[in-house]
Chains A and B, each alone.
Chain A
Amino acid sequence: MIRAETPDHAGSRDQAQTLAATFPEDLDGETVLLDCSELVVGTPSFLDEMVKQVLVLRRADALEISGAPDRARDLLERAAENRSVRDRLRIATPTA
């Protein structure tokens, strides 16, 4: 499993591309765990680009999300739906 953390202010596609550049170019057979617990600001563009980089361009088996605020979870689901990869996005349910 490959692990990564979002910055606290994650707004641009450039940031997502920079983060994804640390991953191998081919993630077939791999799962990426994205820790969003430090996320304060996460825009639709950043989160969409993460979905694109991990699931579309690098073809990871799954993108697992942990610690994401409600809005970020909604935006990630929308992005995955738009890119027809919703079945490979797994979002951890926050514990009370």
Chain B
Amino acid sequence: MPTLPARARALTISTFDSRLVPLASACDLEQLQFIDAYGLVGTACALRAALDETPDLQVVPPANTNSATHLANMGFRAFLSDHGLSTDLPVQSTAEVSGVVVPLRSAQLAGGDQALSHLLWGQLREHVDPQVLEAVTEGVWEVVGNALEHSGSDAQVMAQVYRAAGGGQPPDHDDRVQVVVGDVGRGIRASFKATGVREPADEIDAIHLALEYLVTSVPDDPGRGQGLSTTMEQVLGLQGRMTIRSGDALVAIDQVGRTDRKVASLPGVIVALSLPLYPGQYR
């Protein structure tokens, strides 16, 4: 059964963190101190998957008030409510806080992704370089499109801007935007195998294949297979990083190279794009 840590001390859930593991009967966030967009989308996906088998799943909110408020502002309270889960999280603040540009939300077919694109563009444009805005918005369309087409599930999306303390100009090299898309479908390897176009040896091999230009699980359509590869091309060209988690594999790519890791198996795919707000303008 897919889930999260049963209980952890000073829990953090973030990109490159391996704490996203299958949940049992509860999603215990009592000790949560920090969670980023990747961690939240991953948590939401793990919960979605677990709910199929455990409809009365318990969600324990963070004991720390700031963490609980932040979690609510990231859209987690609304997510839980949408899925019929009760929570003691505070009500989401209406003020713009914590760099959340798109709170956790479900991306649906057709009109839904158009609305998401407008929201992301409108909320992000004042925070980032135009090339970053273009790369992020295009990337979200492509990744959400993949999720909706190949996973058999909807997609969870979140975007957040992270600024170093002070937030002055020129921007700090740690100032970044992170956009994450997750689903609870069959994963990349199973998608390839379903159509028989390719037979990846394992999930890492499947991710590598998916990143190749014009490699696709869609048969007899020579123009398909551009989404992930062109997204990666743009992200790397802007000094960004792309992380793809599918099944038991996690592949991270940046300008330095590619890192493959085995992780606890979760259903579906999580793709995270992380880009500097203003590439080449660090202090």
Interface residues in chain A, defined as those with a beta carbon under 8 Å from any beta carbon in chain B: 7, 9, 11-15, 18, 40-46, 48, 51-52, 71, 75, 79, 82-84
Contacts and interface: CB of A to CB of B under 8 A. Distances in A.
Interface in B96-113: 109-110, 113
Interface string B109-149: 11001100110010000000000001001100110010001
B25 interface: no
Contacts of A42: 138
A47 to B, nearest CB: 9
Contacts of B134: 41, 71
B142 A43 contact: yes
10 smallest CB-CB distances across A and B, nearest first, come from A11-B141, A9-B117, A44-B226, A48-B223, A82-B223, A43-B141, A44-B230, A41-B137, A43-B138, A83-B223
A31 B55 CA distance: 55
Interface of B: 109-110, 113-114, 117-118, 121, 134, 137-138, 141-142, 145, 149, 214, 221-224, 226-227, 230
B223 A12 contact: no
B226 A11 contact: no
Contact of B117 (A41, A51, A52, A75): A41
A42 B141 CA distance: 9
Given A9-B118, A12-B110, A71-B134, A79 B223 contact: yes
Secondary structure class of chain B's binding surface, majority of residues: helix
Contacts of B110: 12, 14-15, 18
Given A15-B114, A48-B226, 19 more contacts: A7-B114, A9-B137, A11-B117, A11-B141, A11-B142, A11-B145, A14-B109, A15-B110, A41-B134, A41-B137, A43-B138, A44-B142, A44-B226, A45-B227, A46-B141, A75-B230, A79-B223, A82-B223, A83-B223
B141 A82 contact: no
B215 to A, nearest CB: 12
A70 to B, nearest CB: 11
Contacts of B221: 52
A51 B137 contact: no
A51 to B, nearest CB: 7
B227 A11 contact: no
14 contacts: A7-B114, A9-B117, A12-B110, A15-B114, A18-B110, A41-B121, A41-B137, A45-B145, A45-B226, A45-B227, A48-B224, A75-B230, A79-B223, A82-B214
Contacts of B145: 11-13, 43, 45
A12 B121 contact: no
Contact of B114 (A9, A48, A83): A9
Contacts of B223: 48, 51-52, 79, 82-83
B109 A83 contact: no
Contacts of B117: 9, 11, 41
B121 A9 contact: yes
A7 B110 CA distance: 13
Given A15-B114, A83-B223, A41 B109 contact: no
Interface centre among A42, A43, A71 (most CB of B within 10 A): A43
Nearest to B230: A44
Contact of B141 (A41, A79, A84): A41
